[in-house]
Structure 1
C-alpha cells in the first residue's frame, strides 16, 4: 500500500495563516500535517482543538517556539505513520530556517538554513548590498556612543532591530530618541510571547544560533565590541542605525525557481506612517500608480541583481524597496510571502492563484519545474515592466489603538464592494500600548486596471471608514 502524500505546515503559537494554508494544501488533494508551538495562554483552551479540526494530523509542542528537534521528531512520526511528506511550508519568518532544514531533509530544492539566517541579519545585509553597489545606504551596530554621534551629525537615519519582524521597534532616529527608548522596546519584546523568539540570534535551546559572528565592516571600525549594542545589558536583542532610504515605498512579490526570479506583483505603499516606535503600512495599490513602465522594468532588473548577489536561487520573497529620482534602494528582503492581504491581492490580480498557491506549487514541482514555470511566466511581469493582468487591487490595513473595543464592524456604505474583508478583533478585546502594530482588520478591493485611475481617488479616502470601531471611552 502506498503512503499518503502530505505537506508539513509550521505554525507559530497556533496561527500563521493556518486556515489559508490548510485550504491551499487540501485543494491539491494532499494531507495537511501541522506542527505548532504552544499557543498564548488566552488561546490554549481553544486553538489546539481548532487546529485538530482543521488538519489531518496535528502536534502541539510544550513550548512557545519550535526547535529543529521538534521538526525532526514530527517528521519521524509522520514517516512511521505512513505519510510521505512532499515539502514543508511556513509563513512565520522566525521558522523559515526550520522550513529550510525540513526541505533539505526531504530533498526539496529551497534556500538553505545559512541563507535564511543571513537574510535576517539586516546589518550585514545592508552593507553587503552597499558594497555591491545595490544600496546607497550603510548600517552600523547601535551603541549609546553611536546614538549620540548620529544625533550630533543631524542627518536622517533609521533605527531597527538587527534581527526583527513586523516593523516592531523600527523608527526614524530623532533628536529625542534615547537609549531608554531602546531598553523599553527590548523589554516589550521579552514579554511578548508571539514575537520574543525572532528578535535574538539565540532565542533559546534548539533555536537558531544565528549566522555566526559578523565580519567587522568599515561602519563598525572604532565601535565597542558587538555585544555592547545591548545584548550583555539584558536587552535580548540588538539594534542597528542606518542611513535613511528616501523615496516612495514599494514591494516586489517574487517567486524564484532554479535561479530564475519572477516578479508576480508590484505593490505601491500609498500610505506609510512612521510612528515613534514602529512603521505602519496603511494601504497598498497594485499595479503601482506613480511609476512608469520603464521605472518598473528598472526595479525588476534591480531585484534580480539583489537576489543574484545574495545567491538566492529558490523561494518566495517579499522585497521591500524605495524608489527616488536616483533609482531603487533596499528596505528589506523577506524570504517568505508577505503578511496582510498581499497574497489575496495577487489572487485578485491573476484571477486565480494567490502568492501562497504559487509558493506551494513551486515547492511541489521543484524537482521537475518545467510545467510550473510555464504557468508562472504567464502570470508574471515581463522584463519590460508590463503585466498581462487586466486587474488592479487596493487594500487597506487597520491598526487598533490602545484601549478596550466596544463595537467594531464593516461599513456598508462604501463606493465599491470589497472582495475580502477581515475583522481580527472583537468587542471586549483590550489593546495594550506597544511598539509593534496591532491589527484590527483589513479590506481588499479589486477593479479593472483600465478603471484604476478613475476609482482610486474616491476609494482611497472612503476606505478609511471601511472598518468602524468604538472604544469604551468613546461615545457614538
Structure 2
C-alpha cells in the first residue's frame, strides 16, 4: 500500500515547517520536506526537521529550483510515497509549489499567474485601468524619481517583488537614487531574501494609499473567494527604511460590518479581474471612510500570528489547516469555508476576537530578553531571539517575538486600549552598549 504524504517546500530549513508538519499530521498524512541549504549559522537545522518529517531532502544551494522539486517528486514516488499535494508559505517558492501541484494534478494557481500576482507594478496598474484602484504605480528610474519628487502628491516606494516590507518606505525629497542602490545592494547580499526580491532589484513608486489598514485572509476554491478573517492594523511604525506592523486585531474595531461587506465585494471584483481561481491569500488594503484600495496581494498565508489568530477566531482551524483542506479536498473545503467565512453582510459567524502584537529587534547584540507580567495572559507566546544574538542593520523586519490574545468581541472592545498600552513593553530587550574606542 502506498504511503500518502504532502511535500513542504522550506526555505533554508524554516518557513513554518513545524506548523505545516503538525497540520499535515492532523490529517493522518506524512510530511515530506524539501529545503534549500540552511545558512552556515543554522547548519544543524535539518536534523531538527528530520524529527518532524517522513523524509527530508535538501538542495545544493540556498534557493530551491524547479530541478530540485522535480528530482524530489521523482525520488518520493520511486520510494512508494504517493504525494497528494505540495505546499509552501515562502513566497519565493509559490511558483515552485504551483509547478509541483500542476505535475501532481492538484488544482492550484498556474505558475505564470503566481508570477504576475507578485509583480506589484502589473497588479496596481491593471486594477487602476479597470477602476478597482484609484492609485497608479510608476517604474522608478533616476529621471522618474525626480519627476515624482517635483509633484505635490505623496508616493510610497517598494520593490516590484517584495517581502517583509523590505525596502518599502515613503518617498521624500531627501530620497536619492543612491538610497535605492544601497537597498538593492543590501537585498542582493541578503542570502535569505535575495531570491524573493529578484535579481537586478527594481523599484516602483505608488501613489500613496491613505486610510485604516486591514489584511483580508482569503481562500479561493475554484474561483470562489472566502474571507475567513479581517485583521485591522492598530499601529504602523516607519523605522530603519521600512514600515513595521506592530499590532493587529480581528474583527476590525473601527470599521463597521457594512464597510467590511463593501470591502469583501470589492475584493471579489479584484480577484475576478486578476483571474485568481485557487489558493490562499493575504491581501492588504486601506479604507478611507468611503472606498477600499489595495496595498498589495500576497499569494500565501500571512506572516507572524495570522494563522493561529484565524483559529482563535473560528475555534476550529488555522489558516494552514484551511489551505491544506483546499489542496486536498476542494469539495469539502467549499462546505467548511462557507460556514467559517464572513457573510456577504460583513458579519463573522463567531463572537470571538483576537489581538496580537509583534516585536521587532533593533540592530545590535542582544544582552537580555524577558517577558513582563500582563493583566491578561496571551494564549500564544513566541520569543524568536535570545541573549547573544547579533541583529544586523537591514531594510526589512527582524522579528524579536510575538504574542496573541484571544477573547470575546465584547471583551476586546472594552479592553483594547488598555491592552495596547500594557502590551507595548511585554517583551523587554536590552542591547549591549558598545564602548567608544580610546581617543575617539
Shorter-chain TM band: over 0.9
Aligned residues of 1:406 and 1:470 also touching (Cα < 8 A): yes
Correspondence for 2:169: 171
Q: Give 1:123's match in structure 2, choosing from 99, 118, 121.
A: 121
Deviation digits for residues 178-198 of structure 1 (CA, Å, limit 9, x no counterpart): 111111101111111100011
Deviation digits for residues 432-456 of structure 1 (CA, Å, limit 9, x no counterpart): 1110111000000001112221111
Deviation digits for residues 34-81 of structure 1 (CA, Å, limit 9, x no counterpart): 00000111001x101111112110011110000001000000000000
Aligned residues of 1:7 and 1:88 also touching (Cα < 8 A): yes
User: Structure 1 120/55 Cα, relative in aligned 2: closer, same or farther at 3 Å?
Assistant: same
Correspondence for 1:325: 289
In 2, the alpha carbon distance for the partners of 1:156 and 1:84 equals: 53
Aligned residues of 1:5 and 1:31 also touching (Cα < 8 A): yes
In 2, the alpha carbon distance for the partners of 1:174 and 1:155 equals: 11
Aligned to 2:76, the other structure's residue is in SS state: helix
In 2, the alpha carbon distance for the partners of 1:147 and 1:431 equals: 31
Do residues 471 (structure 1) and 431 (structure 2) align? Answer: yes
Correspondence for 1:51: 49
Correspondence for 1:230: none
Q: Give 1:297's match in structure 2, choosing from 244, 258, 261.
A: 261
Do residues 112 (structure 1) and 110 (structure 2) align? Answer: yes
Cα offset, 1:274, TM superposition: 2.5
In 2, the alpha carbon distance for the partners of 1:409 and 1:12 equals: 29
Q: How do residues 135-150 of structure 1 correspond to structure 2 at under 5 angstroms?
A: 135-150=133-148
RMSD: 1.1
Aligned residues of 2:12 and 2:35 also touching (Cα < 8 A): yes
Deviation digits for residues 371-393 of structure 1 (CA, Å, limit 9, x no counterpart): 33221111110000001111100
Q: How many residues align?
A: 435
Cα offset, 1:409, TM superposition: 2.1
Aligned residues of 1:409 and 1:423 also touching (Cα < 8 A): no
Correspondence for 1:16: 15
Q: Give 1:421's match in structure 2, choosing from 377, 381, 385.
A: 381
Correspondence for 1:88: 86
Do residues 272 (structure 1) and 236 (structure 2) align? Answer: yes
Deviation digits for residues 156-176 of structure 1 (CA, Å, limit 9, x no counterpart): 001000111111000000011
Q: Give 2:327's match in structure 1, choosing from 363, 373, 381.
A: 363
TM-score using structure 2 length: 0.97
Cα offset, 1:199, TM superposition: 1.2
Aligned to 2:228, the other structure's residue is in SS state: strand
TM-score using structure 1 length: 0.90
In 2, the alpha carbon distance for the partners of 1:397 and 1:450 equals: 23
Aligned to 1:153, the other structure's residue is in SS state: coil
In 2, the alpha carbon distance for the partners of 1:144 and 1:326 equals: 35
Structure 2: gaps (5+ residues): 435-440
Aligned residues of 2:221 and 2:333 also touching (Cα < 8 A): no
Q: How do residues 21-420 of structure 1 correspond to structure 2 at under 5 angstroms?
A: 21-44=20-43, 46-200=44-198, 203=199, 236-275=200-239, 277-366=241-330, 369=331, 371-411=332-372, 413-420=373-380
Cα offset, 1:248, TM superposition: 1.0
Cα offset, 1:326, TM superposition: 3.4
Aligned to 2:150, the other structure's residue is in SS state: helix
In 2, the alpha carbon distance for the partners of 1:437 and 1:381 equals: 30
Aligned to 2:370, the other structure's residue is in SS state: strand
Aligned to 2:254, the other structure's residue is in SS state: coil
Aligned residues of 2:371 and 2:426 also touching (Cα < 8 A): yes
In 2, the alpha carbon distance for the partners of 1:276 and 1:159 equals: 14
Correspondence for 2:437: none
Aligned to 1:381, the other structure's residue is in SS state: coil
Correspondence for 1:213: none
Aligned to 2:156, the other structure's residue is in SS state: strand
Cα offset, 1:276, TM superposition: 5.1
In 2, the alpha carbon distance for the partners of 1:129 and 1:20 equals: 34
Do residues 459 (structure 1) and 416 (structure 2) align? Answer: no
Aligned residues of 2:240 and 2:394 also touching (Cα < 8 A): no
Aligned residues of 1:321 and 1:330 also touching (Cα < 8 A): yes
